[in-house]
Amino acid sequence: MSMIPPPPPGLPARHPLQLMKRTAIICGTLYAMHNINLFHNIIHSPEVKHEWFKAGLASSIAIMSIKAYVELYQGKKKKKQVEYENFRTATHATIVLILIAWISFHKSLSPLYGGFKTMLIMIGFGFGVLLQAALMIPVLWQNFLSVVILTFFLQQYK
C-alpha cells in the first residue's frame, strides 16, 4: 500500500500571505533599484559598457525563447513532461546562456557601480524580481510578460 507523502510545512504557494510577501520583495527590490537610478543609468550613462549590455540582453532573449519553446510548445502543445531527462540539451544551453548573461551584465555595469555593488544589483534582480515573479505568475503569463517587458526595454534602449 502506497502512502501519500505529507504536504510541505508552511503556507501553500497561493496563500494570500505568500503572495503579499513575494509582492513586497519585488516592490522593495524595484524601489532600491529606482533609488540608485539603475534604469536611467543603463539607458543614458556613458560609463555603462553598452556592447556588453546588448550581449546580456541577447542572452536574456535567447533564454526566454528556449523557455517558451520548452514550456509552451513541448509542454502544453505536445504534452511532453517538462523535466531534465526530456530536455537535457535545452537545460544545458540555458545554463550557458545564463552564465553569458551574468558575465555580460557584470562587465557592463561594473565600471559604473563597481564590482561588489554590481553583484548586489544582479543578485537582487535575480532573487528579488525574477525568482519571486516566477513563483507568483503562471507560466503562460510569464512568457507573455517577458516578451512585453523585453520589447519595451529594447525600444527604450537604442
Dump pLDDT digits (tens) for 124-153: 999 999 999 999 999 889 989 998 998 888
Distance CA 132, CA 120 (A): 16
For the range 65-72, what are the long-range contacts, defined as Cβ-Cβ under 8 Å and sequence gap of 24 or more?
A: 66/90, 66/93, 66/94, 66/97, 67/94, 67/142, 67/143, 67/146, 68/143, 71/139, 71/143, 72/139, 72/140, 72/143
Q: Retrieve residue 102's grid coordinates.
A: 551574468
Q: Which amino acid is at 95?
A: I
Kindly report, residue by residue over 47-90, the tens digit of the pLDDT. 999 999 999 999 999 999 999 999 889 988 899 998 999 999 99
Parse the chain into domains and list their residue ranges.
23-34+46-156
Among 136, 142, 138, 130, smallest CA distance to 13 is for 136
